[in-house]
């Protein structure tokens, strides 16, 4: 399954409505290991690991074509194989050309101080202007220097959505060999809705021994799930605990406030209106433990 389709599976699993931007990225230390925190290091992996700088919404969201009908049925089709990639910018040769155009366009850059350094000086002098600390080719800068000097709307750390999850993620206990490119990491980060800023940390296990020992699942359930994956090319959730979240609730703190309103004693009319609104977004207050 590519990261692109994993996105839709996560949307179904957590109860979201695919109504905001998202990205998949590496933990910061792994990202710095690959890039060396340099523009050159990042550019070398554009088209191999990272999205090109010009990748726009029309390319990333090439198949976000829901209009009417059952949203759940539409979503299910998106995370069920066979999987294809319908964009253009993530193909290696196209991505490499794109980042090369960026480097050629900025053959010399006014390198500005970091935003945080600037804000510290603003505290002392509100009329101060951002400093230009040097001039240099973009290719010679650190990633922080580039980000403080030019704007790349999609950022530099978003992984290609055509990458396969199994190649990206190493299982817990598996060695990640620095001499080989894949697997990349033992933890993958999925970031949804940059306003609410939901962060999902994804890990992989070699087997389900822990769930079997806890009697959370049994061998028959695992066999049935395996058959579905192999026959229908569709992921299966074999264990889930808690309640779903929902869009536009204000992130984790906003969700906690929402639960407080509907469950704690207070304004019944407010609680009722909150429930109606949440259910309109497909949310259910039913606690799930399997």
Helix axes 3-14, 71-78, angle to 10 degrees: 150
* Token code pair at residue 104: 């050629």
* Token code pair at residue 257: 């406030």
* Token code pair at residue 160: 């290609």
pLDDT at 9: 97
The strand pair at 188-192 and 198-202 is best described as antiparallel
Instruction: Find the largest Cα–Cα distance for the chain.
Output: 69
Q: What stretches of the chain show up as alpha helix (H) in DSSP?
A: 3-14, 28-35, 39-45, 57-60, 71-78, 92-105, 115-124, 143-149, 165-168, 209-213, 219-232, 251-263, 268-280
pLDDT at 177: 85
pLDDT at 46: 97
pLDDT at 290: 45
* Token code pair at residue 127: 């009329």
Cα separation, 251 vs 270, in Å, equals 20
Cα separation, 180 vs 167, in Å, equals 11
Determine the straight-line distance between the first and last CA of the chain, rounded to whole angstroms.
23
All residue ranges of the chain with pLDDT < 50 are 290
pLDDT at 94: 96
């Amino acid at each position: 399954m590519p990261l692109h389709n994993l996105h839709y599976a996560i949307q179904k699993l957590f109860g979201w409505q695919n109504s905001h931007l998202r990205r998949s990225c590496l933990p910061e230390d792994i990202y710095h290991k690959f890039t060396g925190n340099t523009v050159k290091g990042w550019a070398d992996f554009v088209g191999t690991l990272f999205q090109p700088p010009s990748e726009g919404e029309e390319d990333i969201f090439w198949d976000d074509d829901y209009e009417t009908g059952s949203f759940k049925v539409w979503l299910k089709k998106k995370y069920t194989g066979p999987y294809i990639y319908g964009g253009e910018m993530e193909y290696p040769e196209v991505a490499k050309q794109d980042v090369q155009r960026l480097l050629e366009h900025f053959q010399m850059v006014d390198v500005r101080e970091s935003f945080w350094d600037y804000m510290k000086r603003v505290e002392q002098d509100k009329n101060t202007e951002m400093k230009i600390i040097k001039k240099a080719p973009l290719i010679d800068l650190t990633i922080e220097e580039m980000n403080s000097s030019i704007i790349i709307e999609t950022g530099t750390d978003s992984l290609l959505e055509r990458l396969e999850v199994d190649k990206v993620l190493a299982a817990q206990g598996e060695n990640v060999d620095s001499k080989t490119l894949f697997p990349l990491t033992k933890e993958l980060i999925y970031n949804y809705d940059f306003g609410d800023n939901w962060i999902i940390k994804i890990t992989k296990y070699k087997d389900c021994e822990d769930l079997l020992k806890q009697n959370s699942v049994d061998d028959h359930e695992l066999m049935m799930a395996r058959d579905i994956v192999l026959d229908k090319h569709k992921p299966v959730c074999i264990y889930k605990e808690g309640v779903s979240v929902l869009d536009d609730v204000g992130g984790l703190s906003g969700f906690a406030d929402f639960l407080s309103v509907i469950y704690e004693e207070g304004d019944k009319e407010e609680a009722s209106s909150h429930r109606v609104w949440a259910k309109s977004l497909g949310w259910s207050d039913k606690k799930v433990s399997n």
